[in-house]
Amino acid sequence: MAGKERAIPAPGVNPETEVFWNAAKEGKFLLRSCDDCGKSHWYPRAVCPHCLSEKTSWHEHKGGGTIYSVSVMARAPEVYAVAYVTLDGGPTMMTNIVDCDFSTLKIGQKVKLVFKPTQGEGAPPFPMFTPA
Confirm whether 8 is domain-assigned: no
Confidence band of 2 (pLDDT split at 50, 70, 90): low
Confirm whether 12 is domain-assigned: no
Nearest CA-CA partner of 127 in 40, 50, 17: 17
pLDDT single digits (tens) 17-54 = 999 999 999 999 999 999 999 999 999 999 999 999 99
Confirm whether 11 is domain-assigned: no
pTM listed for this prediction = 0.91
CATH classification at residue 69:
2.40.50.840
CB atoms < 10 A from the CB of 1, how many?
A: 10
Domain enclosing residue 118, as ranges:
18-131
How many domains are there within the chain? 1
C-alpha count within 13 angstroms, C-beta hemisphere, residue 60 = 7
Alpha helix locations (H) across the chain?
18-25
3-state secondary structure of 86: strand
Q: Which residues pair with 82 in a beta bridge?
A: 71, 96
Nearest CA-CA partner of 1 in 83, 70, 82, 79: 79
Q: Which residues pair with 116 in a beta bridge?
A: 126
pLDDT single digits (tens) 73-114 = 999 889 999 999 999 998 999 999 999 999 999 999 999 999
